[in-house]
Amino acid sequence: MTLPLLLNLAVALLACFLLYRMQAAHASFTKRVFSGLGLGVLLGGAFQWIYGAASPEVAQTNAWLDVVGSGYVKLLQMIVIPLIMVSIIGAILKLRDAAALGKISALTIGILIATTAVAAAIGILMAKLFGLSAVGLTASAAEVARGEYLQGSLGAAKEISLPSMLLSFIPANPFLDMTGARKTSTIAVVFFSVFVGIAATGIAAKKPDEFASFSRFVQVAHTIVMRMVTLVLRLTPYGVFALMAKVVAASSLQSILNLLGFVLASYSAIFLMFGVHLALVALAGLNPARYLKKIFPVLVFAFTSRTSAGSIPMSVATQTTRLGTPEGVANFAASFGANIGQNGCGGIYPAMLAVMIAPTVGIDPWTAGFLLPLLAIVVFGSIGVAGVGGGATFAALIVLSAMDLPVALAGLLISIEPLIDMGRTALNVSGSITAGTLTSRILGGTDMRVFNSDAATNLDAEEQAA
């Protein structure tokens, strides 16, 4: 190890120690997450100012920061499948009502898809207001390579159809999907868990002893899994700190300035869509300011980690302990929202990209003949977008290929992709939480005492009791 690397790591360890001291002093979870975010920005900015974004010192330091940041994300991903299974099976055992299950699924998916259509329309509007066009953009070697890679991936995107996507939700081998082997593995596990829960409720009257034993097993498993969730979520401030420091240290200011119009248009669309989410929450009779305050730590994690699927445990915990959403609804919303109707990756991004690229092949993107099919393709293409890094690219490939637009031009945005993806992911997670909140309110399941309470969450309470 070089001396600069040792000094960098020593400063990073000092920042982690400060976060630990805040935890020992029982600072709230939200304050620690904000502190981790702020320390990450400051440290990453300092590294870039001292060494430069492309320096070997930054690359070596980021490799060690990645142990903390990506390690935390992997821990969250580790508990996603167990959490989904025990929570959904347990919720169905309590419901014992297939009609209620159908209402939850239909409402959640319907809200996710409807908000994705709105997000796509906002993306198109921002592209118009900012005058986005790929005409005249020049490509570096990295951008050309990225374009060639996207062109090579086009075949897989063209093979995707709505029937094949729906079929992929049914797990031929549920144990394979428990490993996350496919893009639709999360929904496949949801499907399998629902099937297990319905099968179990079917023996409740005929074999009550066996049903009681199984229910007890699921309850115990749920208690253990939720304890695992609590233990992992305690590490959130450290994970946010490391992820943010890594992103800021390696970001190229010149690349951002070169494509500043697209960055500003993207974040304008993202913030407008956040406003739509808050408006829907307000229409449901909830205080939007209180709602935003309660979900903000989840959005910060999603922003820094760039993984919708990895945000599932934190999303579920927030919905149940802070918003008063029933656990079954929260799990359905978080699980479906990581794969269906992602407002940022599946809505705004491919719509803006299509409008931006269309003029390069002589197509006027501001005609009804172009915009209406685009909105329809974006909505259906958003079904099954994987909630991990690269999901937005896959969604864009589906939309661009369906509109007969050159996909290689999407490679021009590679230099700012991480920066845009952070906001898109936070919007995806916000959309899934909004869907769960609205579904819960419509079905009358929201515990308003929990929503209106300013008391510490279960996570904070357990930390203080430990």
Token output for 377? 């393709």
| 349-357 vs 98-129: helix crossing angle, rounded to 10 | 40
Instruction: Give the whole-angstrom CA distance, residue 160 versus residue 75.
Output: 31
Residue listed under structure tokens 């974006």: 378
Nearest 5 degrees, angle CA 179-CA 180-CA 184?
A: 145
Per-residue model confidence (pLDDT) at position 143: 43
Instruction: Give the whole-angstrom CA distance, residue 333 versus residue 350.
Output: 23
Per-residue model confidence (pLDDT) at position 274: 96
Residue listed under structure tokens 């360890």: 13
Helix (H, G, I), strand (E, B) or coil at 340: strand
Q: Where are the domains of the chain?
A: 3-465
Instruction: Give the whole-angstrom CA distance, residue 425 versus residue 429.
Output: 6
- CB-based contact 363:211 (threshold 8 Å): no
- CB-based contact 374:417 (threshold 8 Å): no
Helix (H, G, I), strand (E, B) or coil at 306: coil
- Report the CATH architecture of 3-465: Orthogonal Bundle (1.10)
Instruction: Give the whole-angstrom CA distance, residue 453 versus residue 461.
Output: 14
pTM of full prediction above 0.95: no
The distance between the two most distant Cα atoms of the chain, rounded to a whole number of Å, is 72
Helix (H, G, I), strand (E, B) or coil at 171: coil
Token output for 100? 């209620």
Token output for 304? 């820094």
Per-residue model confidence (pLDDT) at position 412: 60
Per-residue model confidence (pLDDT) at position 11: 94
DSSP state of 407: G
Per-residue model confidence (pLDDT) at position 465: 36
Count Cβ atoms below 10 Å from residue 439 Cβ, excluding itself: 28
CA 159 to chain centre: 25
Tens place of pLDDT per residue across the chain (466 aa): 788 899 999 999 999 999 999 989 988 887 888 899 899 989 998 998 899 888 899 899 999 999 998 898 888 888 888 888 888 888 788 766 666 778 888 899 899 999 999 999 999 999 999 988 876 554 444 444 444 445 554 455 555 566 776 787 888 898 998 887 777 777 788 889 889 988 998 888 889 899 999 999 998 998 898 888 888 888 989 998 998 898 888 876 766 666 778 889 999 999 999 999 999 999 999 999 999 999 999 999 889 888 887 788 889 989 999 999 998 899 888 888 887 888 988 899 889 988 988 888 888 889 999 999 999 888 887 775 654 445 577 677 778 777 888 776 665 666 677 788 889 999 999 999 999 999 999 999 899 999 998 764 444 544 433 3
